[in-house]
Amino acid sequence: MGKISIEESGMKFREYDERDVFHIETSQQYIETLRDRGIKICEFLLSTGNKIVFVEAKTNFPNHLNVKDYECFIGEVVQKMSHSLSLYGNILLGRYSDDGVPENLSGKAFLKKHIIFLLLVKEAKEEWLINVRDDLNSRMNDIMRIWKIQRIMVLNEEMARQKKYIQ
């Protein structure tokens, strides 16, 4: 099988089996019908072990003391994750074509997998990430309960490299 590697926000993700990656941001389902209608979407979905990971990558984020910009940032991430989950769910329900959805993320392959939201922020100190994670958890609490999403992970470049998400 072929390998795929995605580069986003100045980070090169490691190579994954193409059967495990749905590049939802470049999918025809998103580009042809939703992108121009204000729908925001995360970078890609990754099937790894018993998890489906929704990946959003950012270069940095505003200081939480700049309340307006910080709240806008958190709101955008929440929107991207919830829109991505909704689009993916609707693809699985057959409301959108499943073209481009790889075998490990289609059909019933996803049923027993845990869903995780992952935000990677290239230029962030580890101590800054706790507030971001807590704020995302607070804002996404209802969605997480409805979909039984285990957790939101917020990592910087170093942490993502240690967990082998990026090269």
Enter the pTM of the model: 0.94
pLDDT at 128: 87
Confidence of residue 165 (pLDDT cuts 50, 70, 90): very high
Instruction: Pick one of 3.40.50, 3.40.91, 3.30.70, 1.10.40 as the CATH number of 3-162.
Output: 3.40.91
Burial string for 52-80 (b: 16+ CB within 10 Å, else e) reads bbbbbbbeebeeeeeeeebeebbeebbbb
Mean pLDDT of 11-16: 94
CA 165 to chain centre: 12
The 10s digit of each residue's pLDDT in 44-65 is 999 998 999 999 999 998 877 8
Q: Provide the token pair at 110.
A: 């996803």
Q: Provide the token pair at 31.
A: 């580009």
- The secondary element (H helix, E strand) that includes residue 152 is strand 151-156
The mean predicted confidence, pLDDT, of the chain is 93
Confidence of residue 94 (pLDDT cuts 50, 70, 90): very high
pLDDT at 167: 85
Confidence of residue 1 (pLDDT cuts 50, 70, 90): low
pLDDT at 44: 97
CA 126 to chain centre: 19
Q: Supply the angle between the helices 67-92 and 126-139 in degrees, to the nearest 10.
A: 60
Confidence of residue 14 (pLDDT cuts 50, 70, 90): very high
Percent of all residues in the chain with a pLDDT value above 90, rounded to a whole number: 85
The 10s digit of each residue's pLDDT in 95-145 is 999 999 998 998 776 778 899 999 999 999 888 899 999 999 999 999 999
